[in-house]
Amino acid sequence: MTMYRKPKPPRRASLGQPLDRVDGRLKVTGGARYAAEFAVPNVAHAVIVTSTIARGRVKSMDTSAAEKVPGVIRVFTPFSAPRLPGAPKPGPHPPSQNAGAAQGGGPQGRQRQGQGGQGPAARGALSMRVPTVLQDDGVRYNGQPIGLVVADTFEHAREAAYLVRVRYEYETAVIDWSTAALNKPEDVHPLGGERTVTRGDVAKGLAGAAVTVDHTYITPLENHNPMEVHSTLAQWEGDSLTLYESTQGITSVRNTVARHFGLTPDKVRVVAYFTGGGFGSKGGPWSHETLAAMAAREVERPVKLVLTRRQMFGPVGGRPRTEQRVTLGATSDGTLTAIRHHSKSTTSTIEDWVEPATSQTRMLYECPNVETQYDLVRVNVGTPTFMRAPGESTGTFALESAMDELAYALKMDPVALRLKNYAEKDPESGKPWSSKSLRECYASAATRFGWSRRTPEPRSMRDGRWLIGYGMATATYPARRAPAGAVARMMPNGTAWVRAGTQEIGCGTYTSMSQIAADALGIAPAHVRFELGSTDMPENPASTGSVTAASTGSAVHDVAVALRQKLVQLAISDPQSPLHGAIESDVRVVDGRLTAGGLLGKSDTFAALIVRNGDQPVEVTVASRPGADAQQYSMHSFGAVFTEVRVDPDLAIVRVPRIVTAHAVGRILNAKTARSQIVGGVVWGVGMALEEETLIDPRTGRYVNADLAEYHVPVNADIGTINTAFIEEPDEHVSTVGAKGVGEIGITGVAASIANAVYHATGKRVRELPIRLERLL
C-alpha cells in the first residue's frame, strides 16, 4: 500500500512532533482498504458453522437443506473437508479434564519463533496453533468451527449455515473453573519462563515482617472487540496463494498457512495494509485463514470469510480468568521483606496458554525474598491469547492492589511506600536499567493530580452526597526489540521510498516511520513514501508487545542512514558535484540539500545527484538486529496512574471524572499518536475495572454476552478527563531511535488505581473485577 503526499515546503526536524497521520485522510474518506474491502473478481463468500455443545463429537451433519439454498457452492464438514498435509493433528480424542497431557490426550503446546522473555514480541510471533480446521470430528468448546458454507453472496452463505443440522455425541464438559483439576506442575509452561521462580527465603521474610497482607484477586474472562472483526480474502493462482488478511503478524500467518498446505513460504503472500484494531487477538493465525484458503482452492475461485461478532468469542482468543494470591511482608517503616505471588489461570483443552501475570512482580520493587508461581486449569472454552499488555494488565491489578492494602496497614502514603522500595536496578536479574524515570513519573503525575489534597482515611472526602476517592498505581511493561528489515530508495524527484513488512494496526506506524526516515535522510516527512503490509517486503516482527517502534523504527532509521551515506559518497566522488572532494564527515543534509563546511556557498541536492546518475534510483537494504545491550541491561517502560472516583453512597454508582498519568517510554516518535496510545489504554483500563466480563452459560458453555450490546465496554459518557504526560528519556540501549514502545503500558496499573480509589472513597475493598454495584452494596 502506498502512503504518499505531494511535496510541501521543507520543515524542521519532525521526530517527536505531533504530525497529523499521513493515512488520516484515507481513513476518514473510505480510501483505506481493510482486508474484507479488496475488490477481487468472482469472489465467493464463506460463513463458519460453529458448534452448539462444549465437548463431544460431531456424529453427523445434514447439509441437504443448506445445499438447496440458491447460490450455495459448497458445504464443508469434518467429513468432507480435504485433508491438509501440514495441519497439526489434534489428539485422538478431545482431552479429558482429568486425563491431562501426561496421558497423551492433552493440548499440544504452542510453538513460537522468537526470543525468550515474557511478552508477546519476545515470546515470539505465533507460528503454530492446534487449529480447528475441520480435520477431525472433535468438539472442544461451544462456538468451535465445525463447518463452512460457501455461496455466491454473504446472505446466501449465512442463510445456508443456519440450515445445517448437526448431531452430536455429548460428553461432560468442564465449565466451572473452580472445580477443574489443576494441570500437573510439569505441564505448566509459561512462554519464555519457568512455572516457579524464587529468590531468597520468602518464609523467613514473612516471619520477620512487622506487617503482612495476604489476599486473593480475581480477574474475569475478557474478549477482544476491535471495530474490525477478523476477516480473510483468499485467492489462488496456480499453486500460489494470496491472503488479504486482518492481522498483526503477516509473516506468522504466511508461515503457518504455508505449512498447513505443504507449501514453501514464498508461495504464500499475505497483505494487510490496514488492520482495524487487534490488541493481541490478531497477533497470529487462527482457523479462519486456513479455512478460507482451503475453500478457495476447492471451489476454484476467491473466497472471502468475515467472522461475525459472536464468532469473536471463542475462535480467536481472549484474556483468561485469573485467580492471584499475593502475600506481602514489610517492616514497620515500609521496607518489603517478602513477596509471594501465585497465579492460577484458565486455558482451553486444545492448547496450554499461561497468562504471565507475575512477571512484573519479580522486577518492580526492591525485595530480597520473592516467589512467583503459575498454575493452570483446563476448561472447555476457546483458547486464550494475548490481550493488551497480557500478564502485566492482570498482574498489576493484583500486585498494585496488594501494595495499596499494605500502605493502609502501615498507615503510610501509597506513593511513599513505592518510593521506599524503589528498585535502582533490576531485582530479578541484577542488571542495570537501560533507563528508568519512574520517580519522575510519580512526581509529575502526583503534582498534576493534586495528590497532596488527599486525606488518608477512607470515606473522608466528599462532594455533596458523592463519596470522593483518590487512588494510584504503578505502570510497567517490558521494552523489546526484534530483528527487522527495511529497504529505502531515493527517487529522481528527490523523494524517498521506504518499505518494511510491518503492520498498521491503528497506532500510527505509517506516520512515525515517515518521520524517522525523513529525519535520518534530512528531508521533510512529506517527501517520504512509506509502505508496509505485505510479506514481499523485508521481514519484520508481528505488531505485538510494543515492539514496532523499537524494531521497525530501528530498521527504518538504519536504512535511511545507510541511504544518506551512500548518496553523500556519490556526491563527493562525482566530479560534476559541487561537493566533489569534500570530506564525508563534513557533509550535512538539510531539506534534501547537501552542504559541506569547507565549501562555502556550494551545495548539491539528492534530485540532482540522481539525475547525474542516469535517473536511476539509489537503493539500500538493511537487516537490523538488537545488539549486546539486550543482554547487558534490563529494559522496561514505567509509569504512574492517579485516579479520582466519585461513588454514590446509596446506589454504589461509580464515576471516574479524571485520570492523570505520566509515562517514561523512551523517545516519543510522534506526540499525538503516542498520547492516543496512552489514552486508549487508559480507557480500556476503565473498562477492565468497571465493565468488561465475558459470561459463559455454566450448563452449555455458550458465550452469553457475545455482542456489543451485552459485552460492556466504555463509551464517551463513561470517560472523564484523561491527562497524560511523558517523561522524555531517549534510550538507545533499547533501540537505535531511542524508543521503547507505548502501545501496551497505557492499560497497566489503571484497574488497580481505580480499585484503590474506590476503596478510599467507600472503605470497601473489591478484589474481583469488574467492580459491579453488588460488590459495593
pLDDT over 70 (residue 354): yes
Hey, what CATH topology would domain 430-481+630-777 get? Answer: Aldehyde Oxidoreductase; domain 4 (3.30.365)
pLDDT over 80 (residue 671): yes
**Sign of the CA dihedral 355, 357, 360, 362?**
negative
User: pLDDT (tens digit, 9 = 90+) per residue, 313-337?
Assistant: 999 999 999 999 999 999 999 999 9
How much is the pLDDT for 597?
Answer: 79
The pLDDT mean for the chain works out to: 93
Torsion of CA 123, 124, 125, 130, to 10 degrees: -70
Give Cα separations from 668 to 285, 551, 665, 742 (angstroms). 31, 14, 7, 9
pLDDT range class, residue 201, cuts 50, 70, 90: very high
Q: Are strands 303-306 and 44-50 parallel, antiparallel or unpaired?
A: parallel
Higher pLDDT, 130 or 703: 703
Distance of alpha carbon 503 from alpha carbon 249, whole angstroms: 7
State the catalytic residue, choosing from 428, 744, 768, 774: 744
CATH 3.40.50.1000 for domain 35-174+224-312:
no
State the CB neighbour count (10 A cutoff) for residue 239: 11
User: pLDDT (tens digit, 9 = 90+) per residue, 97-129?
Assistant: 333 333 233 333 443 333 333 343 333 334 445
Please give the backbone phi and psi of residue 205, each rounded to the nearest 5 degrees, phi first.
-65, -40
CATH of domain 484-624: 3.30.365.10
User: pLDDT (tens digit, 9 = 90+) per residue, 471-500?
Assistant: 999 999 999 999 999 999 999 999 999 999
Distance of alpha carbon 415 from alpha carbon 240, whole angstroms: 58
Determine the angle formed by the axes of helices 750-762 and 671-690, rounding to 10 degrees: 50
484-624: same fold as 430-481+630-777?
yes
pLDDT over 60 (residue 179): yes
Rg (CA), the chain: 27
Residue boundaries of the structural domains of the chain: 35-174+224-312, 430-481+630-777, 484-624
Q: Is 744 among the residues known to form the active site?
A: yes
Check if the beta carbon of residue 321 is closer than 8 Å to that of residue 177.
yes
- Mean pLDDT within 252-271: 98
**Sign of the CA dihedral 196, 392, 773, 327?**
positive
User: pLDDT (tens digit, 9 = 90+) per residue, 610-659?
Assistant: 999 899 999 999 999 999 999 999 999 999 999 999 999 999 999 999 99
Burial 672-709 (b: 16+ CB within 10 A, else e): ebbbbbbbbbbbbbbbbbbbbbbebeeeebbbeebeee
- Mean pLDDT within 736-758: 98
pLDDT range class, residue 5, cuts 50, 70, 90: very low
Query: CA-based diameter of the chain, in Å?
Result: 86
Minimal CA–CA distance to 681: which of 730, 719, 629? 719
Three-class secondary structure of residue 451 per DSSP? helix
Distance of alpha carbon 683 from alpha carbon 245, whole angstroms: 27
